[in-house]
Amino acid sequence: MDYMTQMDAARRGIITDEMEAVARKELVDVEKLRKLVAEGKVVIPANKNHISLEPCGIGEGLKTKINVNLGVSKDCCNIEAELEKVRCAIKLKADAIMDLSCYGKTEEFRRRLVEISPAAIGTVPVYDAVGFYDKELEKITAEEFLGVVEKHALDGVDFMTVHAGINRETAARFRKNPRLTNIVSRGGALLFTWMELNNRENPFYEYYDELLNLCRKYDVTISLGDACRPGSIKDATDASQIQELIILGELTKRAWEKGVQVMIEGPGHMALNEIVPNMIIEKKLCHGAPFYVLGPLVTDIAPGYDHITSAIGGAIAAANGADFLCYVTPAEHLRLPNLEDMKEGIIASRIAAHAADIAKGVPGARQWDDKMSEARRNLDWPGMFELALDPEKAVRYRDESRPENEDTCTMCGKMCAVRNMNKVLNGVSPL
């Protein structure tokens, strides 16, 4: 291999196996894809140690991707239960899975996850540091934080969220501009606390070049975390968020200089009317790097239904520039999601992503809908089920309420408009 990263290869005019695979799946020209990877507008997270990976591309001109969060915590540390969620996420066609484990020795779960998952795997190394070293947060050294990054890279993690933008300058801006919900990013809060307790610069910012060298060695895509993402619509598009975004744009250029692939993470909670301007600002300040958003949740009043509030925001965000949606489940802000919560979150995010792809003119997106409409016109129930985003639920709903006439459903019966129009247009009395 005469290149270190996908970006290196693309810049040298080399089309990798991963680029070929992505181009086939996305129905795009591979040479066009190579140029986008070279420019940093598309990333292909593909750690050299993730043997089971089926590569996916994230970025300009490609299908909107979705990510699923899972992992063990102190209150819920059942590895087998989390692995069952992994299998379900893969079945439901999640594009990426993030292991957010934050309790104990997480190595076993992470390695098993990488082994069985064809989807890209992401982690947040700062979560793992406290358990890995079994010491107080403030006692962890910069070298030890980087040690966890290398450990995750060795295990085959494809992308890592690193909150390098919450440096002392950003922290000062946050202090000068009080928020309703302060810092809600778990990783951002941990690093802000570490900086306060040690009166030092964020280690991931101070030793950013060393971090990039590790990412380059294994071709880990760096996902620049948004420590100052808004945790309420009140805090959206404030000074802290924009300050950090400026820093992330600078860090993006430094990563590209080393041939390291970059994604940018974004909000958060945000009112509908602020989503489009935020997509424009992010793409401008971060030079067209792929944008990865959590939601955004468009209202703060719906605990138990935040998969819906995030899908609304996600569809708008993706239709206007976001490339990667982090799913949100009905359990958001309430508890660790169970298997059913996870499924609801995945389906909601996939609907949002697909709706955005139609708006963006992504190859193949609208054709899927046209095929479904054709099956509906023909009252082709097996065809509808085959095309459905969640075939199992569609089949179950029909089976739970069988109609008198099999070419109808129990909503309209013989008054079904589709059935009657088909008949009358063919010269047959419908009733």
Contact 155, 114 (CB under 8 A): yes
Annotated binding residue 127: yes
Annotated binding residue 270: no
Annotated binding residue 98: yes
Residues 130-163, buried b or exposed e (16+ Cβ, 10 A)? Answer: bbbbeeeeeebebeebbbbbbbbbebbbbbbbbb
Annotated binding residue 287: no
Annotated binding residue 60: no
CA distance 67 to 65: 7
Annotated binding residue 240: no
Beta-bridge partner residues of 69: 98
How far apart, in Å, do the first and last CA atoms of the chain sit? 70
Token couple for 288 = 């067209």
Annotated binding residue 265: yes
Annotated binding residue 50: no
Annotated binding residue 409: yes
Give me the phi and psi of 70, to 5 degrees please.
Answer: -155, -175
Annotated binding residue 273: no
CA distance 306 to 345: 9
CA distance 62 to 427: 45
CA distance 12 to 317: 33
Rg of the chain in Å (alpha carbons): 23
Annotated binding residue 179: no
Annotated binding residue 419: no
Annotated binding residue 103: no
CA distance 276 to 278: 5
Sign, CA torsion 37/39/41/46: positive
Annotated binding residue 279: no
* DSSP SS3 for 339: helix
For the annotated binding site for Zn(2+), the residues are 269, 333
For the annotated binding site for [4Fe-4S] cluster, the residues are 409, 412, 416
For the annotated binding site, the residues are 69, 98, 127, 163, 185-187, 226-229, 265, 269, 292, 333, 409, 412, 416
For the annotated binding site for substrate, the residues are 69, 98, 127, 163, 185-187, 226-229, 265, 292
